[in-house]
Amino acid sequence: MDKYLTVLLIFMVVTIPIAFIHPMTGEIRESPLLPLFWGAIAGIIIIMFYGSYKDKKERQKAKANRKRSKK
């Protein structure tokens, strides 16, 4: 996973507690911001899938280059 995806992943992880705790007072919210929570969870899942897809494509490309260089 490259550094940009890692930064986005960190922001998504930090967003999860913000959905349940008011950042100004530090008190637990009576009604949590569920769209924010589920949006962060969805973002984390998307980033993980995209990162693994990108890594897989890079491995395939490197493998193809190794096979080509042997011939």
Per the structure, the complete domain to which residue 38 belongs is given by 3-70
Mean pLDDT, the chain, as a whole number? Answer: 90
pLDDT of residue 70: 67
pLDDT of residue 64: 85
Is the pLDDT at 55 greater than 70? The verdict is yes
Count of domains for the chain: 1
Q: Report pLDDT digits (tens) over 21-51.
A: 998 898 999 999 999 999 999 999 999 999 9
- 48-51 long-range contacts (CB < 8 A, ≥24 apart) are 48/9, 50/5, 51/1, 51/2, 51/5
What number is the average pLDDT over the span 7-33? 92
- 8-12 long-range contacts (CB < 8 A, ≥24 apart) are 8/43, 8/47, 9/44, 9/47, 9/48, 12/40, 12/43, 12/44, 12/47
